[in-house]
Structure 1
C-alpha cells in the first residue's frame, strides 16, 4: 500500500502543459504591451526630440489621438462663420490647424496625426524636391484599407508598380486622344446650358445652385469619356463614389484608433457595400469590353477602351502577360478616374463661376474673348487652346481655391531636406493652399484675385521659383491635368456664350475641404440668358 504525504505528489503532465501555455500567453501579452507602448509613446517621443533638437517647433505630443481633438475644435470654430464676399483669404477657414501651427511656430512646424509627427513644408524648392522624389526617399502617405474604399489606382502605387501603371495609362491622356473626347465634353455641356436656358426664359434672372449642377456635369463627362456606351452604368458609379467620399472623410477623424475600420458600425458597413457594388459594376463593364475587343470589334474612343488597348499592347510586348495589369487593377484605375477626374473639375468650375460673379470685370473680359474666338459656335480644340484670358482665370482660381489642399509624403529612412535631418517615419505635409497664399512668394496681394499674374505663364507668376502646384509636381504630376483643364475650358466657354451671372443674396462664402475644397453651403448664382 502506497501512501502520499502533503506535497509529495509530482505534477501531472497536463499541469506542465497548462503552466507552459500560461507562460507563453504571458510572454505574448508582455510583448504586445511593449510594442503598444513603443508605438504610442516611446517612438513619438523619440521622433519629437529628434525634430525639436534641430530647432523645429510645433504642438506637443500628449496622447494617441495626436492633434485630432484640436483639429475638431478648430474646424468647428472655422465653420461657425462665413467669409465676407470678395474675401479670398481662405486658409484660416479651410486649414485652421496648419494655419494656427505655422502662425505660432513658423512655416516649418510640427503637428500630430495620431502618434505620427507631421512637419509642414512650404518652401517651393523643397516642395519640388519632395514631389520630384528622384531617389525614392519619400513615399506617398496612404491610408490602406480606407483609401481602397475610394480607389486603388495610379496615385496610390509606388516603385515599379507605379511605373508600370503610369506607362499603361499615359497613352490614354495624350492630347490626340483627348481631342477625340471633345464631342463627349460638348454634349454634356450642351445638356447643362439647355436646361439652364429652359429655366432662365424671360427677362427675369433665375437662381441656380451651380455646385450640384457642376458635380452632375463632370460626373456626366467622366462617365461618357471613361465608359462611352456604358454611360448609365458609369453614372451609377459616380453617385456611389460621391457617397463614399463623404463616408471616408468622416472616417479620417478616427483612423488613428487601431482596428476602427473593422468595427461593424453603420458607416463601415455602408462603405463595404458601396465598394462591392462599384466593383461589381466595373467588372461587368470591363468583361463586356474585353470580350468585344477579343472578337475583333473596334476599340472605343473612351478612356476604358484606350486603357484596355494600351494594356493589351504591353502584354504582347517583351514582358509578356506580366507587363500588363490585372482586372482588379483596372477596376482601381477606373475608380481613380472618378475620384480625381470628376471632383477636381467640378470644384474648379464652381469656384470659377463664384469668382467671376465677385469680379464681373473679369467675367466680361473672359466672355469677350470666348465670343471673339467662337462666336456662337461650339468650342473646338484649336480655339480652346487660344483662350489666354480664360486660362489665366482658371489658373488664378486653382491658386486661390486649390482643389486638393494638402499632399502628404512619408520618410521611410533618414533623409535631409532643407538643412533638417528627418528620421524614418515622419510625415511631410505639403499644404499647397498655404503655399499658394504665401505673401513671400506671391506678393502682398497674394489673397487677391488677380489673373493677370499669369499673363506670362506659370513660371513668371510667383517670385524667384515656380510655386504653383494644383496638379502636384515632378514625375507624379497628375496624369489627367490636361483632361481637367480642357473640360473646364469647354464648360466655362459654353456658359459664358449663353449667360451672364451674379451671386444670389442667399450665397454664403464658406470654402471647406471635404476631400476637395468645396463650397460648404452651395454656390447660389443668378443667371441671365444672353440674347
Structure 2
C-alpha cells in the first residue's frame, strides 16, 4: 500500500499489476514470520529457485501427464531436479541451525518451525527431523505459490463484482473500522469468508492433483493395483453442475452461506482431504482474510480495460498476462 503511494485526496485511479506485489508480500509473510523467524539469504534464494521451477514447468507442462516424465533426459528436468535438491539443502541448513540455537538456550520464536522442533525433541511425538524439513520445504516452496495464486484470483473476483466488493467492505468496516484487522475479528467476516471459498472453488490454485496408491485398493467396483497414479481433476469437480447446481460456473458466494458444511461432504477439495490434506490451510485462510480486509479498508478495485482474462495452468493456475486492476484510494 505504501508502494502504490496514492494520495488520499486523489480521485484518479492507478493501473497496477497486483500479481508481483501479492507474490512478494505472501512470500515475505510465510518466510519471515512463520518458518524462519527472519528473511534470510536462504529464503531469498529459495524464492529465486521457485521462479526457476515455474519457468521450467511451463516448458514441460505437456509431458507432465505421462508417468515417468520426471526421468526424461531433458535439460528442463535436470534444472528442476537441481533446484529441488538445492531447496532441500537450504531448508535443511535452516532447520539444523535453528535446532542448534534451541539446544543452546535460544528462545522459542513462536513460529511453525519452533513448534515442530519442540515436537521433534519430544520422543513420544513420533515427529522425525525429516518430517520437519519436509513441512518447512512445503511452506517455503509450495505454500507461497498456491496462496499467492488464490489471493490474485480473489482480487480479480472482487474487482469484477463491485456489488460483492462493497458488501465485503461494509462488513470489514463494521468489524474493524479503521483499526488493523485482528484474528478475533476475522472469524466475524462471514461475507469475506463466502467470497474466499467461492474464489477457491472457481479458481483453485491447481486444477489437478495426483495420488499414488501404496497397496492394492478397492474403489467402488474397481480394484486398483499398487503404485499406480490417480489424477483427480479438481477444476472439473469444482465446476460440476451435479455437485454445485446449474450455476456452477458462475460467481455466487451465497452457496457458502452455511459455512463449512460443504467440507463434511468433501465438495471443496482446494486443500485436498485425508492424511495428505494441506498442512497450511489455516494459515492460508488467515492470510487471505487479512489481506482482503486490509486492502478493502484502503482501496477500491476495478478491472483495467487492458486486462486480458487468460487463466493458464503452469504448475499452478495463474493469469497469463498478469492481474491489471484500476486501484483507487478509498475515502
TM-score normalised to the size of structure 2?
A: 0.89
Contact 2:31–2:38 (8 Å) recurs in 1: no
1:334-483 maps to which residues of 2 (within 5 A)? 334-411=136-213, 414-424=216-226, 426-459=228-261, 465-483=265-283
> In 2 relative to 1, CA 513–382 (structure 1 residues): closer, same or farther, beyond 3 Å?
same
Q: How many residues align?
A: 329
Equivalent residue for 1:501, pick from 296, 301, 316 = 301
1:294-373 maps to which residues of 2 (within 5 A)? 294-313=103-122, 315=123, 317=124, 323-326=126-129, 330-373=132-175
Give the Cα separation in 2 of the matches to 1:216 and 1:347.
12
Gaps of 5+ in 2: none
Query: What secondary structure sits across from 1:509 in the alignment?
Result: coil
1:267-316 deviation digits (Å, cap 9, x = unpaired):
34433543354344334322331221111111111222222122112x3x
1:21-420 maps to which residues of 2 (within 5 A)? 193-198=1-6, 202-224=10-32, 225-248=34-57, 250-251=59-60, 253-254=62-63, 256=66, 261=71, 263=73, 266-313=75-122, 315=123, 317=124, 323-326=126-129, 330-411=132-213, 414-420=216-222
> In 2 relative to 1, CA 409–201 (structure 1 residues): closer, same or farther, beyond 3 Å?
same
Give the Cα separation in 2 of the matches to 1:270 and 1:466.
37
Contact 2:63–2:69 (8 Å) recurs in 1: no
1:30-72 deviation digits (Å, cap 9, x = unpaired):
xxxxxxxxxxxxxxxxxxxxxxxxxxxxxxxxxxxxxxxxxxx
**What is the CA RMSD across the aligned residues, in angstroms?**
2.7
Contact 1:357–1:502 (8 Å) recurs in 2: yes
> In 2 relative to 1, CA 423–234 (structure 1 residues): closer, same or farther, beyond 3 Å?
closer
Give the Cα separation in 1 of the matches to 2:233 and 2:68.
26
Query: What secondary structure sits across from 2:5 in the alignment?
Result: helix
Give the Cα separation in 1 of the matches to 2:202 and 2:209.
16
Give the Cα separation in 2 of the matches to 1:254 and 1:267.
11
Give the Cα separation in 1 of the matches to 2:235 and 2:18.
23
CA-CA distance at 1:422 after TM superposition: 3.8
Contact 1:223–1:235 (8 Å) recurs in 2: no
1:206-250 deviation digits (Å, cap 9, x = unpaired):
111111221111111111121112445323312222322332453
CA-CA distance at 1:512 after TM superposition: 1.6
4+ runs deviating over 6 angstroms = 257-260
TM-score normalised to the size of structure 1?
A: 0.57
Larger radius of gyration: 1
Query: What secondary structure sits across from 2:312 in the alignment?
Result: strand
Contact 2:212–2:230 (8 Å) recurs in 1: yes
Query: What secondary structure sits across from 2:247 in the alignment?
Result: coil
> In 2 relative to 1, CA 400–254 (structure 1 residues): closer, same or farther, beyond 3 Å?
closer
1:512-531 maps to which residues of 2 (within 5 A)? 512-531=312-331
> In 2 relative to 1, CA 391–245 (structure 1 residues): closer, same or farther, beyond 3 Å?
same
Gaps of 5+ in 1: 1-192
Instruction: Tell me which residue corresponds to 1:52.
Output: none
